[in-house]
Chain A
Amino acid sequence: MKETSALQYPVALTADQTPPTSPEARHTAARTLTRWKERIIESLLLLAAFSSVAITLGIVGILVFESATFFAHVSIREFLTDPLWTPLFAAPHFGIMSLVMGTLVTTAVALAVALPVGTIVAIYLSEFAPATLREILKPVMELLSAIPTVVYGYFALQFMSPLLQKLIPGLPTFNMLSAGMVMGIMIIPYVSSLSEDAMRAVPMSLREGAYALGANRIITALKVVYPAALSGIVASYILAISRAIGETMIVAVAAGMQPNLTIDPREPAATITAFIVQVSLGDLPHGSIGYQSIFAAGITLFIMTLIFNILGYVLRKRFREVY
């Protein structure tokens, strides 16, 4: 009985294998097919993830390629030291500094509004406000960054400028102050929301320790919670700076379109972004020096934001606290 079964088994097996539709063979074939399908799907997904790298390569490639032809005409020295930026004039000047100043001044005004206000709002929402109020206020504040920037431009030009003109006599209609202030209000939620998230992530025991030593809420917030959350707060500041530097429509509408090398926020001045918009609105032939100049301006802007992003990365690492 035993022997026959031992003999029969291999025979039965080979008999089973011969027809191609046997369950086991079908099973193996199906498994191979599934494996291949899984592998193909994974490669497609990887390709999708890699598309973001391709976008970066596209950005860097185009900026470098187009501005290389620009810098073949204009020396980097002239680009950085000439006080005038008039690339479309008959006697062109290519001094980017007047545009960079415009960008830096509007950014500084915006940050002067957004960083203190945003931080205070974050501390208030995280440490002081009752939970229900916070749940209402946070989304409402976030609406500030949901409004299209061109609408803010309208607001800066039609509302903020006339208002400031009453306070500061002689203020021109187009000025960096009103554009910068409105931009600052727009980026408050970037600071307040992210900083608040960071502060709320600080463990309760740290606060309780401070309270046990007799500290009140504000001292706890400033001396314990704020330093503990500094890594996340710095990240939010950096994001705000990046936004302010790259913001386009508010300054294009309300800060004026003339390059102006000044640090006085009451004057009108074009930013890098406003210049790119102004040139793009006109009809510039592909390959002309004016066309290339927007890429030169673009790469300057890109490098400025890149510097701040790297700085943010370094600071985040430095201030990281692990609990």
Chain B
Amino acid sequence: MSQFKQIIAKRKRQDFVFNIIGILCTLIGIVTLGALLGDLLMDGLPRLSLAFLTSFPSRFAEQAGILSSWVGTLLIMIVTACTAVPLGVAAGVYLEEYARRNWLTNLIEINIANLAGVPSIIYGLMALGLLVYKFRLGTSVLTGGLTLAFLILPVVIVATREALRTIPQGIREAAYALGSTQWQVVRHHLLPYSVGGTMTGVIIALSRAIGETAPLITIGALTFIAFLPPPPVSAAPPFVSFEWLSSPFSVLPIQMFNWVSRPDQNFVVNAAAAGLVLIVVTLSLNAVAILIRYRVRKRIKW
């Protein structure tokens, strides 16, 4: 009997020890996250000011700012979202609702799974060879936006498919019973009901894209740029111009990379401040995504 009790005590001890190990390992991640944020805050926060956000980069660390790079990031993201979202949602709808089980569908599905595992810098090489030189788009906002759109396309497709899959079959059957065509079912029922899930995926994909540096460096994005692209809207006719699409650009992470690799400590402080801006943007996008997911989960009860 006492032996039995000993065994039980031993087993309970094992569980307890692993509980501690598990908590410690989880803490490694959380402590690192805290150290990273703390480090950036300590180095970068004093440097952060309105002037920092509204100045061009400069040879002098104290006068340098991130105006051209955050504008670049914004423009690139507009191109990326406008390309990847329609394309990805359409592809997701096709694969989930239309596709028959045949070799073509299989090919597309295996291909999407593989694309998700391709390193981002490879997309940059593809864009450099294909978009910059073959299609002669140059190192422009358009090229950069398309590159990142290719990169996040698999994520958008997968998010769309998962969102569609949560819609019960009964909804589709009810709509068909009333004489809807397949497109009407998609347009009036499936797309509206899946918008929450798709949006979550899209926002997370875009927050990834904002932080992507390597593919944009590969296509030759500038590290020092002291002008803004031409504005998309103007007071004089024709009011709307797309010249900004062919403008050269820099983005926030490239600006940060440029500053971090300088020996001058003042520039490293600038890098920390730029990193802080970058983190605030990506983390708030993630927070929005989590919020949407939570709201959708609460609202919809099939």
State the CA gap A208–B207 with chains docked (Å): 41
A80 interfacial by beta-carbon distance below 8 Å: no
Which chain B residues lie closer than 8 Å to A123 at the CB level? 18, 22
Which residues in B have some Cβ–Cβ distance to A below 8 Å? 11-12, 14-15, 18-19, 21-23, 25-26, 28-30, 32-33, 35-36, 39-40, 43, 86-88, 90-91, 93-95, 98-99, 107-108, 111-112, 114-115, 117-126, 128-130, 133, 150, 153-154, 157, 181-183, 204, 207-208, 210-214, 217-220, 223, 253, 256-257, 260-261, 268, 271-272, 275, 278-279, 282-283, 286, 290
Contact assessment for A120 and B25 in the assembled complex, using a CB-CB cutoff below 8 Å: yes
29 of the cross-chain contacts (CB-CB < 8 Å) are: A45-B91, A49-B99, A49-B157, A52-B111, A53-B111, A121-B26, A124-B21, A124-B23, A128-B15, A137-B26, A147-B33, A151-B40, A151-B256, A151-B275, A158-B43, A158-B268, A217-B18, A218-B14, A242-B119, A248-B214, A249-B253, A276-B124, A276-B214, A280-B220, A281-B217, A294-B218, A295-B129, A298-B122, A302-B122
Contact assessment for B29 and A49 in the assembled complex, using a CB-CB cutoff below 8 Å: no
State the CA gap A319–B269 with chains docked (Å): 49
**For chain A residues 131-155, which have a beta carbon within 8 Å of chain B?**
137, 139-141, 143-144, 146-155
State the CA gap A34–B286 with chains docked (Å): 41
Digitize A40-77: 1 where CB-to-B-CB distance is under 8 Å, 0 elsewhere: 01101110111111011011011101100000000000
A157 interfacial by beta-carbon distance below 8 Å: yes
State the CA gap A151–B90 with chains docked (Å): 34
Contact assessment for A239 and B117 in the assembled complex, using a CB-CB cutoff below 8 Å: yes
**Pick the contact of B129 from A65, A146, A273 — CB < 8 Å?**
A65
Evaluate whether A216 and B14 lie within 8 angstroms (CB atoms) in the complex, with A128-B19, A157-B260, A158-B43 already known: yes
* Chain A residue nearest in CB terms to B220: A280
B19 vs chain A, min Cβ distance (A): 6
Contact assessment for A63 and B125 in the assembled complex, using a CB-CB cutoff below 8 Å: yes
State the CA gap A301–B124 with chains docked (Å): 13
Tally of chain A residues near chain B (CB < 8 A): 83
Evaluate whether A148 and B278 lie within 8 angstroms (CB atoms) in the complex, with A62-B126, A124-B26 already known: yes
State the CA gap A254–B290 with chains docked (Å): 32
